[in-house]
A = this chain, B = another copy of it.
């Protein structure tokens, strides 16, 4: 939901159960304006809310001039101050996918993941540690447990993990990873963005220099188009389009069809599209990420999306349709 259109679009998502109270609206308008000014973003969007057990997280994103590349994600609980979410490494991403359960609502909460160290892994991990500077930060949080040395520094943590510590007696090496909720949240936003980020076809443009921008000529979809899933695209680096055949590509307008269509997603049926009662707004909902809703008012430039859920991917979607 674009900051500039913020209070208006808030009214769009009311019927889906997302509201902000006057305090939040007032705080957010001021703090996001400040964020935009401080980082000189070309566009700031309010991304949504991830509900945690004790408190909720509010997420915003700022974009540099190339909208598909320079994107930063911010989190706030008070809506007054925004903190940038960390980058997520591939290893962290995989580990986060294994985490289940509600978000706690505390960014510094640490999840402990115990993984079996494969016989071939340790040397590889050490190599990585030496070679890859970017990952060093992350890897330093992990410790190999089960070895009978170098465990002194976190005596207090050991008690918690007492159950796991019994396992190494089997002589399997286990490694304990710690993931903060901050990282888990960052990974979640990335996952949802990957799977959703829905925009109406034509809203975004790519130029000859492969720079992506909002299409200032976009006049909205027609009523008929707006009710058709094939007119909505994933606003993310495309995966499907580059694999299309030349014949297929010849039918596309490459300035606007450089993005993947959501109706080509796998599994099929993971999107639901509806009009509101008066035909003024079409909503596109993800059934894979319940709580993700994109909307568009046909015949107008107004579109947006919001996530309002508890951060759980619907793994049961196959049974539920």
Contacts and interface: CB of A to CB of B under 8 A. Distances in A.
Interface in A1-47: 4-9, 11, 30, 33
Contacts of A33: 278, 280
A45 to B, nearest CB: 14
A162 to B, nearest CB: 54
Nearest to A25: B11
A216 interface: yes
A217 B218 CA distance: 9
Contacts of A6: 8
A297 B297 CA distance: 21
A228 interface: no
How many chain copies? 2
Contact of A8 (B8, B219, B278, B280): B8
Interface string A112-138: 000000000000000000000000000
A302 B217 contact: no
A143 to B, nearest CB: 48
B216 A4 contact: no
A5 B12 CA distance: 11
B297 A4 contact: yes
Most buried by B among A5, A8, A219, A301: A8
A11 B4 CA distance: 12
A300 B5 CA distance: 10
The 10 A-B residue pairs with the shortest CB-CB distance in the complex, in nearest-first order: A8-B8, A7-B11, A4-B300, A7-B8, A33-B278, A216-B217, A5-B8, A216-B219, A33-B280, A217-B217
Given A30-B278, A33-B280, A278-B33, A4 B217 contact: no
A278 to B, nearest CB: 6
A205 to B, nearest CB: 13
